[in-house]
């Protein structure tokens, strides 16, 4: 018994000696050395987490799959369809205007001919009704859809008081129901196939940071996130993964139309952000939805905004989840400076409006 206790005491002494040596080495480090070693340890930890996430994340190959893109005649929708075609997918684009669809199809087909897959177009107003989507999207000609990209949408900017109630209704009908109807129509067959799949909702950065002038647009895009979160829980057991894309300002026909009526204050608040190409956004949609990301962002500002919104979002990719855990606090701290600057601009605008009203009253 004494020999056993002596052996244990020896082990304890060695452990304590090692701890003391490490502590002494740590205390003797200079500030520069401390920063350097902390950087090395932090980098190693991040690499370990990233490597670990590779083994516990969803992945998906688009080759030979059927991808259907609503709003596919221009902008982000068309750019996304081209990306899928280049990866060997059969692609169907959907939009209301047949003439625009025909032009888009001519741009899409050359990318399909290289790999021999098919490209087709369907004229359908996805926001019209559920029955319209059933009629146009469910038939032998269309066939099974493996990947649904809900990209059809519209945007309008204006202060809450200046916007008509009908404009709110139009935003909700086009941006929300225009995604609900095709998803509801195509989902049963996706589940029954047993092949898994992807459903992507293209929202906007205003679904992460809603600024002055976007009450109608933001309301519709925030709704897509709630829809996606709840839907993911229902379809995940069937191997179907849901993503929400949050594009920044993107150089599209829709963005050009929006800029015509966008209030000056809204332009000033969003001026710091970069305008991205449709191709950049499409690349992120295709790449990260394949990896199972629930939230898909573009650019550093987009990534920062995403870290601010981890909430209870689905976790299908561990690296995506680790990022929220590691950086959400820092992102929140940085966001306070933006919010303060935006508030100052809005207070200044309100003061100018009040001054103008007083001057008008005096003039009478």
Q: What pLDDT was estimated at residue 299?
A: 93
Q: Please say if the pLDDT value at position 22 is more than 60.
A: no
Q: Which two tokens stand for residue 333?
A: 């701290």
Q: What is the pLDDT of residues 274-304, one digit of tens each?
A: 899 999 999 999 999 999 999 999 999 999 9
Q: What is the pLDDT of residues 86-120, one digit of tens each?
A: 999 999 999 999 999 999 999 999 888 666 788 99
- In angstroms, rounded to a whole number, what is the distance separating the alpha carbons of residues 44 and 272? 34
What pairs with residue 150 in β-bridges?
A: 70, 201
Sheet hosting strand 90-95, strand order edge to edge: 119-123, 90-95, 66-70, 147-150, 197-202, 240-246, 295-297
Q: Please say if the pLDDT value at position 148 is more than 90.
A: yes
Average pLDDT, the chain: 87
Q: What pLDDT was estimated at residue 274?
A: 86
Complete domains list, the chain, with CATH: 66-328 (3.40.50.720)
Among the residue ranges 14-28, 82-96, 118-132, 311-325, the one predicted with the least confidence is: 14-28
85 against 349, higher pLDDT: 85
Sole residue written with tokens 């379809």:
235
Q: Please say if the pLDDT value at position 341 is more than 60.
A: yes
Using alpha carbons, select from 124, 342, 127, 154 the residue that is nearest to residue 256.
154
Q: What pLDDT was estimated at residue 263?
A: 85
Query: How many other β-carbons are positioned within 10 Å of the β-carbon of residue 194?
Result: 8
The share of the chain scoring above pLDDT 90, in percent, equals: 56
Contact of 299 with 274, CB cutoff 8 Å: yes
**Secondary structure class of 302 (helix, strand, coil):** helix
pTM check: above 0.85? no
Q: What is the pLDDT of residues 236-278, one digit of tens each?
A: 999 999 999 999 999 888 888 788 888 888 888 887 778 999 9
Q: Please say if the pLDDT value at position 49 is more than 70.
A: no
Q: What pLDDT was estimated at residue 100?
A: 95
């Amino acid at each position: 018994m004494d020999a056993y206790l002596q052996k244990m005491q020896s082990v304890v002494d060695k452990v304590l000696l090692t701890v003391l040596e490490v502590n002494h080495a740590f205390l003797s480090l200079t500030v520069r050395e401390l920063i350097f070693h902390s950087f090395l340890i932090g980098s190693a930890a991040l690499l370990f987490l990233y490597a670990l996430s590779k083994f516990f994340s969803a992945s998906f190959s688009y080759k030979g799959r059927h991808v259907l893109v609503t709003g596919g005649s221009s902008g982000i929708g068309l750019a996304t369809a081209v990306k899928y075609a280049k990866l060997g997918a059969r692609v169907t684009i959907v939009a209301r205007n047949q003439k625009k669809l025909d032009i888009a199809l001519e741009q899409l087909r050359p990318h399909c001919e290289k790999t021999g897959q098919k490209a087709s177009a369907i004229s359908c107003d996805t926001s019209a009704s559920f029955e319209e989507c059933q009629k146009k999207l469910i038939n032998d000609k269309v066939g099974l859809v493996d990947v649904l990209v809900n990209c059809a949408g519209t945007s309008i900017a204006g202060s809450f008081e200046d916007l008509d109630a009908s404009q709110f209704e139009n935003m909700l009908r086009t941006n929300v129901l225009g995604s609900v109807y095709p998803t509801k129509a195509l989902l049963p067959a996706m589940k029954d196939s047993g092949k898994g799949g992807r459903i992507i909702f293209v929202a906007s950065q205003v679904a992460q940071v809603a600024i002055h002038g976007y009450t109608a647009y933001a309301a519709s895009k925030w709704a897509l996130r709630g829809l996606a979160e709840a839907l993911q829980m229902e379809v995940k057991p069937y191997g179907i993964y849901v993503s929400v894309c949050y594009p920044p300002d993107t150089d599209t026909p829709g963005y050009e139309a929006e800029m015509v009526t966008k209030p000056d204050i809204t332009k000033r608040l969003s001026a710091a952000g970069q305008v991205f190409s449709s191709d950049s956004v499409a690349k992120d949609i295709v790449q990260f939805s394949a990896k199972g990301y629930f939230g898909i962002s573009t650019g550093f500002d987009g990534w920062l905004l995403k870290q601010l919104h981890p909430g209870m979002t689905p976790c299908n990719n561990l690296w995506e989840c680790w990022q929220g855990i590691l950086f959400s606090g820092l992102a929140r701290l940085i966001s306070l400076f933006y919010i303060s600057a935006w508030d100052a601009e809005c207070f200044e605008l309100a003061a100018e409006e009040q001054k103008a009203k007083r001057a008008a009253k005096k003039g009478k």
